[in-house]
Amino acid sequence: GAEAMKRLHEAKVLVVGAGGIGCELLKVLVLSGFKKIEVVDLDTIDVSNLNRQFLFRKEHVKKSKANVAAEVVKRFNPDVDIIAHHGNIKEKRFGPSYMDGFDIIFNALDNLEARRHVSRICVHQEKILIDGGTQGYDGQVVTIKKGVSACYDCEPKPAPKGFPVCTIRSTPDKPVHCIVWGKHLFNMLFGPKDDTDEVVQGISAELDSHQVLEKVFVEEINKLIGMAELWESRKPPTPLTLVATQEQANRGSEVAETTVLSLEETIALFKESYVELQARAKEEGVMEWDKDDDVIMNFVLAASNLRAHVFAIDMQTRFRCKEIAGNIIPAIATTNAIISGAMVLEAVKVLEGRLGDCRAIMKNREPSGRKRYILIPSNLDLPNRACTVCSGGTVSLKLNVEKTTFNFFLTRILKQELGLNEPLVDTG
C-alpha cells in the first residue's frame, strides 16, 4: 500500500559490500522504491567479477566497486539518493555514530571478519542487520537484532583450518601443503616482513634465480633428508636435479590452466616469474600476495609444484592451484539474485514493524525434505545468553603470566581470537 511505499522511500539503508550480493541488492532496493542508500566497499573491480556483478563492465575494471555500482544503479531510478564510499568498513569513519544514522544495515560481504565487525556495531547501536551470504548454489539470509535474535558472535564460528608448521616446512604430504609453502616463499622473498613466512633460511631476492632454486630445492632438501627422525615412517624427499635445466629458454606463452606443466616447464616458469618479480620489487618495493596477479600466481604455481615434485606429491594445474592458493569460492549471479531478493523482503517486514515475521532463509542446492523445500524459512535463532557481544557475557582467561607477553595477549588473544578491533586495556 501507499503507507508501506512511503516507509521504503524514507528509510535510510546502508549496504556493506558492492560485490556479488551488493550489486543485486542495490538493484532490488532501487527498483523496490528505497531512496536513501549508502554503499561501502574497499575493493576494485576485477575481470572475474563480470560473470555476476552485473553493474560492472569491462571498462570498469580496476575502478572502485562502490563508486561504479552507485553510478550505474542510479540509472534504474534517477530519483534515488545514493552515496558511495570507497573504503574499508572497519575504518573509524564508519564507526558506531555513522551506522546509527541508518534504519537498516545490509551485510553483503564475503568474509567472516568484516561480517563480525558490522554485527558488533549493529548490536551495540541496536540497529537491525540483515546479513546475506552465498556460496555456489547455496545461500542464506539472517536478520540480527539485539535482544531479539542471535548475533554473529552468539555461536562460535569454526576457526579456518591451518596446518602444523612442521608439515608445511618439513613433511608435506598433500598438494595444499606445498601451495601454502609456496605462498610463504613468495611472502618471504617479496612480501611484507613476517617471521611466520620463514620457510627457508638464508635466502633473499638478492640471489639470482638459479641460486634460489639451488638453495630451496637442493640444499634445503638435503638438510631435511639429514634429519633422520623425520623419515622413520615417511618416504624422504629427493632433491631437484638442476644441471640439465640451467639454460632453459623463457616459456613466453601463457600458462595453460588445465594441464599440468612438465618438470622442465615448471623450472623455467619458476625462473621466469622470479626474475620478473625481482624486477618489479625494485620498482614497487614490497608486494602483496594476490591470486589475480598472473606473475605472482605463476611463481607460487611453479614453486609449489617443484616442492610437490621433490616430495613425490602430485603436481597441480594452474586452475586448481589458484583455487587452493586463493581460497576461491565459486559464485554465480542467480544465487546472489535470489538471496538479495530475500534480503529485501525481510527488510520490508522490518519497516512495516513486523520484526516478529522475519525468518532466516536458507537456499539449498536441491529440493530437500518431504515438503521439497528449496528456499527454507525458519525462525530466527534466539540470542545466546552467554554471548559476550550481545548479552553482556564475560570471558575468563587463564594465562601463564611467566610466559605470556603483553604483545601475544593483545594481538593473538584480544585481536585475533576475540576479534576486538581496538581493545582498551586497563590494569588493576
- Assess 103 for contact with other proteins (CB under 8 A): no
Q: Does 354 bind other proteins (CB under 8 A)?
A: no
Is 358 noted as a catalytic residue in this protein? no
Largest Cα–Cα distance of the chain, in whole Å?
Answer: 80
Cell of 149: 535474535
Residue 55 CB partners (closer than 8 Å, separation 6+): 18, 23, 26, 27, 68, 69, 72, 73
48 backbone dihedrals φ, ψ, rounded to 5°: -75, -5
Residues 112-141 as x/- pattern, contact with other proteins by CB under 8 A: ------------------------xx----
Instruction: State yes or no: residue 420 binds other proteins (CB under 8 A).
Output: no
Which one of 23, 166, 178, 358 is the catalytic residue? 166
State the DSSP string of 263-327: HHHHHHHHHHHHHHHHHHHHHH-S----TT-HHHHHHHHHHHHHHHHHTT-----HHHHHHHHTT
* Under rule CB under 8 A, residue 63 binds other proteins: no
Compute the half-sphere exposure of residue 311: CA atoms within 13 Å on the CB side of its CA. 29
Q: What is the dihedral of CA 253, 259, 262, 264, to 10 degrees?
A: 20
Residue with cell 523445500: 373
Length of the chain as a residue count = 428
Q: According to the binding rule CB under 8 A, does residue 251 interact with other proteins?
A: no
Residue 341 sits in the site that holds other proteins (CB under 8 A): yes
Does residue 50 touch other proteins according to CB under 8 A? yes
Which of 147, 367, 393, 423 lies at the binding interface for other proteins (CB under 8 A)? 367
CA distance 156 to 401: 26
Q: Which residue in 4, 76, 227, 386 binds other proteins (CB under 8 A)?
A: 76
Question: Closer to other proteins at the Cβ: 82 or 203?
Answer: 82
Look up residue 310 and give its amino acid.
V
* SS3 call for 368: strand
Write the binding mask 265 to 304 for other proteins: x where contact by CB under 8 A, - elsewhere: ----------------------------------------
- When asked if residue 416 is in the footprint of other proteins (CB under 8 A), the reply is no
Q: Which is nearer to other proteins, 76 or 408 (CB)?
A: 76
Question: Which range of residues in 46-54, 122-130, 188-196, 236-244 is near other proteins by CB under 8 A?
Answer: 46-54
Q: Is 373 helix (H, G, I), strand (E, B) or coil?
A: strand
Among 4, 256, 312, 386, interactor with other proteins by CB under 8 A: 256
Residues with catalytic annotation? 166
Name the site residues for other proteins (rule: CB under 8 A): 24, 27-28, 31-33, 47-48, 50-52, 54, 57-58, 75-78, 136-137, 254, 256-258, 319, 323, 328-338, 340-342, 344-346, 348, 359, 361, 363, 367, 370-377
